[in-house]
């Protein structure tokens, strides 16, 4: 019999540097925008390292979970995809698994996509594996090696030890401009409080006929509005989404402060969880035929809407959004309303007329102080009102697609991201800037929403 002492060894921490990962591009943040950027860059043949402080792929889309993809479609009675590049693949994959539900929102005058977050996570993971992306989860960027106007490497702390990622280009898809902030580059923060949401996924919800979901949702939201104060709810205008095929309801009915403070953040997060429990008690008591036997499947990470963003070459303004300015370097089109959650009780909701489209310029993605750093998602440069429209998942994917193409062009010419011809980026992402792309295909699942 082998001696047990031979099966173990004694070790001590060493002061020698941890492992170094060599990549062409390092993407910080594995949410919907960072994952999209990593997939597209890998498809262009680049070695990509994807790092996230969370321990799952998909960021808020999976870990909150947001539960609905907003901002993908045009406004009007017959919405079409505004950003089909990669997004249509994700939607097709969700539909094959019967894991999404398209509903028309009369409030937003466009389609939203309710989805199953576990299925979405697996789709993202499979796409990343197909591109051989190096994934580091549970990794926090602690330092950035800034050489003049270029980031050369970032240091990452993980539970397994320190890691350094060296790359030629970097994507800040952190949502909070964490990479730019760590590198000591200029960032912007809103001067008003902007609330997040503690989401909740309920199972065992008697959704009924999918064609009746609008009536169910309207009644449930009305109860939150009319009876919320009696149950101790702070937010008055909550939103509820149903995924009938899974007997699932996604509750977006709370407001949570999300400061960039490690203690205060979780203090408010726990308050948000208490708010969710009150909302569930309300729905069970006041709408038992639908919610009476429901139970919590997930109370994820408190959802963050807007915190810190980069200082780019151009700050997108709400005036430009309202006017639908089509910039010479436009790289994404958007139709989602202004949705600024600036009070505890409610939020500013300003839908656009049918057919309205506004645009995001490439300059809003490019950090003014760095040649090889580009931002995607909710930390691009925009004022708080403009950002409240372009921070939702559809535009996040679109900015990531554009960022990937900009990086590919820069790396192939060994030039600054600032020197990339925006026209060449636009040629590559043409479907995201022009044309009407219907989805789902005829016979797909859809329903009228609230």
Cβ-proximal residues to 412 (8 Å cutoff; 6+ apart), any chain: none
pLDDT at residue number 18 = 81
pLDDT in tens, 120-163: 999 999 999 999 999 999 999 999 999 999 999 999 999 999 99
CA angle 122/123/125 to nearest 5° reads 60
Rounded CA separation 332/398 (Å): 6
pLDDT in tens, 354-365: 999 999 999 999
Q: How many helices (H) and strands (E) does the chain have?
A: 12, 25
Q: Which of 211, 233, 213 is nearest to 223 (CA)?
A: 233
At 207, the pLDDT band (50, 70, 90 cuts) reads confident
Measure CA 22 to chain center: 26
DSSP state of 252: E
Omega before 243 within 30 of 0, i.e. cis = no
| pLDDT of residue 16 exceeding 90 | no
| pLDDT of residue 450 exceeding 60 | no
Rounded to the nearest integer, the mean pLDDT of the chain is 95
Residue with tokens 């028309």: 104
| pLDDT of residue 404 exceeding 50 | yes
Shared fold status for 19-191+306-450 and 195-298 = no
227-245 average pLDDT score:
94
Provide the residue ranges of all domains of the chain, joining segments of one domain with +.
19-191+306-450, 195-298
At 442, the pLDDT band (50, 70, 90 cuts) reads low
pTM confidence score? 0.95
- Beta carbons of 23 and 49 less than 8 angstroms apart: yes
Residue with tokens 């016979």: 443
pLDDT at residue number 446 = 44
* Lowest-confidence segment of 10-14, 16-20, 86-90, 244-248 by average pLDDT: 16-20
- Beta carbons of 171 and 51 less than 8 angstroms apart: no
At 3, the pLDDT band (50, 70, 90 cuts) reads low
pLDDT at residue number 210 = 82
pLDDT in tens, 41-56: 999 999 999 999 999 9
pLDDT at residue number 209 = 84
214-221 average pLDDT score:
94
Cα Rg for the chain, rounded, in angstroms? Answer: 22
At 11, the pLDDT band (50, 70, 90 cuts) reads confident
Helix (H, G, I), strand (E, B) or coil at 116: coil
| pLDDT of residue 268 exceeding 60 | yes
CA angle 122/55/295 to nearest 5° reads 70
Please state which CATH number belongs to domain 19-191+306-450.
3.50.50.60
Rounded CA separation 245/229 (Å): 32
319-329 average pLDDT score:
98
* Lowest-confidence segment of 209-223, 297-311, 408-422, 423-437 by average pLDDT: 209-223
- Beta carbons of 159 and 138 less than 8 angstroms apart: yes
Rounded CA separation 319/341 (Å): 19
Beta bridge partners of 112: 103
pLDDT at residue number 448 = 42
The topology (CATH level 3) of 195-298 is Alpha-Beta Plaits (3.30.70)
| pLDDT of residue 59 exceeding 60 | yes
Distances, alpha carbon 132 to alpha carbons 88, 95, 119, 136, in Å: 21, 25, 20, 13
Rounded CA separation 322/337 (Å): 10
Residue with tokens 């022009």: 434
| pLDDT of residue 443 exceeding 70 | no
Rounded CA separation 101/448 (Å): 10
312-325 average pLDDT score:
98
Rounded CA separation 210/15 (Å): 60
pLDDT in tens, 270-301: 999 999 999 999 999 999 999 999 999 999 99
Rounded CA separation 397/209 (Å): 32
Task: Give the count of beta carbons closer than 10 Å to the beta carbon of residue 208.
Answer: 14
The enclosing H or E element of 62 equals: helix 59-63
- Beta carbons of 111 and 394 less than 8 angstroms apart: no
Rounded CA separation 160/373 (Å): 27
At 2, the pLDDT band (50, 70, 90 cuts) reads low
418-447 average pLDDT score:
86
pLDDT at residue number 1 = 55
Helix (H, G, I), strand (E, B) or coil at 328: coil
Rounded CA separation 21/233 (Å): 47
325-341 average pLDDT score:
98
């Amino acid at each position: 019999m082998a001696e047990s002492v031979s099966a173990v060894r004694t070790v001590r921490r060493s002061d020698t540097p941890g492992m170094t990962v060599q990549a062409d591009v390092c993407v910080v943040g594995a949410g919907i925008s960072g994952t999209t950027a990593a997939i597209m860059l890998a498809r262009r043949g680049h070695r990509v390292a994807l790092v996230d402080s969370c321990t799952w792929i998909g960021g808020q889309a999976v870990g909150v979970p947001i539960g609905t993809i907003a901002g993908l479609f045009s406004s009007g009675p017959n919405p079409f995809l505004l950003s089909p590049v990669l997004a249509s693949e994700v939607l097709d994959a969700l539909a094959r698994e019967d894991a999404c539900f398209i509903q028309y929102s009369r409030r937003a005058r466009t389609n939203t996509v309710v989805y199953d977050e576990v299925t979405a996570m697996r789709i993202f993971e499979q796409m990343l594996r197909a591109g051989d992306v190096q994934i580091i989860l549970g990794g926090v960027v602690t330092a950035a090696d800034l050489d003049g106007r270029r980031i050369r490497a970032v240091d990452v702390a993980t539970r397994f030890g320190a890691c350094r990622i060296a790359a030629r280009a970097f994507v800040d898809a952190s949502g909070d401009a964490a990479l730019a902030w760590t590198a000591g580059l200029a960032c912007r923060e809103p001067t008003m409080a902007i609330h997040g949401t503690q989401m909740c996924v309920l199972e065992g919800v008697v959704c009924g006929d999918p064609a009746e979901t609008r009536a169910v949702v309207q009644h449930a939201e009305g109860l939150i509005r009319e009876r919320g104060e009696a149950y101790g709810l702070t937010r008055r205008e909550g939103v509820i989404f149903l995924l009938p095929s899974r007997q699932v309801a996604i509750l977006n009915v709370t407001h949570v402060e999300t400061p960039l403070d490690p203690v205060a953040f979780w203090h408010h997060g726990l308050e948000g969880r208490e708010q969710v429990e009150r909302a569930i008690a309300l729905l069970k008591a006041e709408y038992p035929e639908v919610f009476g036997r429901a139970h919590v499947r997930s109370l994820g990470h408190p959802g963050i809407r807007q915190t810190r963003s980069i200082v780019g070459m151009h700050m997108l303004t709400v005036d430009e959004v309202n006017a639908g300015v089509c910039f010479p370097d436009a790289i994404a089109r958007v139709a989602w309303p202004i949705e600024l959650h600036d009070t505890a009780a409610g939020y500013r909701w300003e839908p656009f007329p049918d057919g309205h489209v506004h645009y995001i310029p490439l300059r809003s993605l490019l950090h003014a102080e760095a040649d090889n750093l580009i931002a995607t998602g909710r930390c691009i440069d925009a004022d708080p009102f403009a950002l409240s429209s372009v921070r939702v998942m559809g535009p996040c994917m679109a900015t990531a697609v554009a960022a990937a193409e900009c990086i590919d062009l820069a790396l192939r010419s060994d030039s600054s991201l600032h020197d990339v011809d925006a026209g060449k980026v636009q040629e590559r992402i043409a479907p995201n800037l022009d044309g009407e792309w219907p989805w789902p295909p005829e016979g797909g699942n859809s329903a009228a929403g609230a």
